[in-house]
A and B are shown apart, each in its own frame.
Chain A
Amino acid sequence: MSRIATFLTRRRGDGGRWHWTDVVTWLWLGAGLILMFGPAIWLVLSSFKTPAQLAEFPPTILPYVSETVAVTLNGETRNLPLYDVILSDGSADQLAELRRVGTVAQMIDPADPETVIKVPITDRRPVREVGFAWDNYLKPLEAFNFGQYLYNSVFVTVTATIITLITNSMAAFALSKYEFRGRNAVLLIIVATLMIPLSVNLVPLYSVISTLGLQNTLWGVILPTVATPTGVFLLRQYMLTIPDELIEAARMDKASEWQIYYRIVLPLTAPALAVLAIFSVVWRWNDFLWPLIVLSRKELFTLQVGLNTFAGELNVQWHYILAMTVATMIPVVIVFVFLQRFITTGIAGTGLK
């Protein structure tokens, strides 16, 4: 116990005094914890709220549902909402609401359902308990072919990542380990195209896809994304750090250029490849605008496109969108939890210079 305590209160100043940098450090970390995780937790909690509760202000932190009570009236049992009521004599009571007419609520005591008590609506507050609107998750999972969308998303993500790794590492190898005319020109073009965001290039890209007959295919989503200049750039920078002597030695041993690539350079580039793989997975998983343009058949939808079908012209069904957003975040979070150390140290190790 005491070791943990020492560990937790370890600080820079000797002899247990708090140095001002410790205060700054812990303030920074505390603020970071709240700012970075808080919004995500808010999203998850909100995804369990009913549509009416989502629109409500002031909002509640936890999702609530109104408590109801079963009352038998004239031989008929009905579930009526319960309210905390302040009666005209100033006393407080818990009553069930029969109906509301204008600004007056007609309420009854569940124990004595025959007597109707009239209460101004400003004097009543609904009794609520924490409750989760699982329907937000269950209904879309039924109606919306979640399994199919998941498959499409996984297929796009995995295939695009594999192709990205192969093509980018080959190009990076050529650009880092060979001297040839036009190398700088190729590099410059690659860097230049880093600059143009997809959102301004949609129509030209669609005409290419359409000419190739790739619209409404998953390949139409995958192929344009694999030529990521970032990947080539990142891998090349890393490969530059691999000593040329290794390659020369392999050539002496009559290794072919292809063998040099896959037996020597590729294994040594593993950390950078891993980082690119992780980023590629996150990017492709989160891709939204481009799949939306290419895919208009429901059997081809990825999760991101699928969850957006709840956005109509005049109304957006936020409760479903929030729930499905959380559902699509889960795989990324799982990957992150397991590979967190590897991701963060991997980026640190790629020598991004």
Chain B
Amino acid sequence: MSFALANTIGAVFAAPVRWLAASIDAPLRLWQRLTGKGGMIAFFLMPNIIVFGTFVIIPLFINFAYSVTGGNELFLTDRSFVGTQHFDRLLTCDNHFDPSSCRDDLFWTAVWNTARFVVVQVTTIAIVAMGTALILNSKIPARGFWRAVFFFPVLLSPVVVGLIWRWILQRQGLLNFVMIEMDLTPVNWLIERDWAFVAAVGVSVWAHVGFYALILLAGLQAIPRDLYEAAEMDGTRPARVFFRITLPLLWPNLLVVIVLALIRAVQIFDEVYVLTGGGPGTSTLYLTQYIYEIGFASILRNPGLASAASLMMGGVLIVLTLGQLGLQRWRDRA
């Protein structure tokens, strides 16, 4: 029923789009004759490039300009050139693995917290998404409903996600109430260091796992059924089927999941910020929060330092992505 509905909606939208598109065909034909294919490529790319250039590339350059200027002023003309001062401050450490030996201890605390978070969160997402996808792909009743159940949190805004879980996990929250009712000792989830980390990972997994599970589900459904039937005839054990058939064929999708989850995990901010505020102490202080507070939220802001930190973070992410692209190319060739 919803497909029919969607098709109707699609048709309703498509009609005016077609009409509009047809009405500008004549001038575009002229443009094509005058400028050839190159002109058309430019035409197709232009709207995106204009928007992209104005709102992504230019701010990036401004960001760079911030990182080499000092002061609290927000407008570039009011700032003075300080060279690599901010980078020096961020990078000065006796031992980079020990934040307390660094000039900017909070930055390095955030770096190592983020690294730990990324490893644990991405692994958890991959495992939970895989489990969910396998189960959603098996013969269960009301599959559509269960798909919706796991996908639902993806629709919520990160702020709401953080808020809901804060109300559940705080000392006087729902979870502790349930634990008291069950005669268990309540735990101060957001104040105990280890539990707060678990909470940060768990809540971000909760919010995103449905999306990744669906990507994996798509991959599972694309695996030819006869492969499984053949395996069943041979009496192959389920675990062996998973490792010999499912996992290798699902690998492209799993890679997409890992890369997307990785990028998101490095940028983790809103939900954890609302949930723990970076606490207890600084144990869930992550890079984006550090940058946001230094450059923006604190009363005496230091945009230069924040920009330097964000450029370094962007650099790391680009290396990670290039790594992924390389991996994909290598896989395509293999």
Contact = CB atoms under 8 A, between A and B. Distances in A.
A touches B in complex, CB < 8 A: yes
A12 B66 contact: no
17 contacts: A36-B150, A40-B156, A43-B160, A173-B44, A175-B45, A178-B41, A192-B314, A194-B321, A197-B267, A200-B313, A223-B51, A258-B29, A258-B40, A282-B155, A289-B270, A340-B144, A348-B215
Given A39-B165, A199-B288, 8 more contacts: A171-B47, A195-B266, A203-B295, A207-B74, A207-B76, A270-B10, A288-B157, A332-B155
B55 A227 contact: yes
Q: Which of B147, B157, B314 has the most CB of A within 10 A?
A: B157
A85 interface: no
Nearest to A337: B148
Given A232-B48, A349-B218, A29 B263 contact: no
A25 interface: yes
Interface stretch (B104-112, B114-122, B134-142): B134-142
Interface stretch (A67-75, A88-96, A114-122, A162-170): A162-170
Q: Chain A, interface size: which category?
A: 35 or more
Contacts of A309: none
Given A256-B32, A325-B163, A171 B44 contact: yes
Size range of the interface on B?
35 or more
Contacts of B177: 57-59
B298 interface: no
Sorted from nearest, which 3 A-B pairs have the closest CB atoms?
A286-B157, A204-B59, A195-B317
Contacts of B267: 195, 197
A205 interface: yes
Given A204-B59, A257-B37, A258-B25, A195 B160 contact: no
B244 to A, nearest CB: 18
Given A167-B47, A196-B314, A208-B58, A203 B74 contact: yes
A207 B17 CA distance: 35
Nearest to B310: A200
A263 B14 CA distance: 11
A59 B167 CA distance: 10
B321 A32 contact: no
Interface in A310-353: 325, 329, 332-333, 336, 338-344, 347-353
Contacts of A28: 131-132, 135
Contacts of A36: 149-150, 152-153, 206, 210
Nearest to A286: B157
Contacts of B45: 170-171, 174-175, 186
A57 B172 contact: yes
B321 A195 contact: yes
A288 B149 CA distance: 25
A32 B253 CA distance: 22
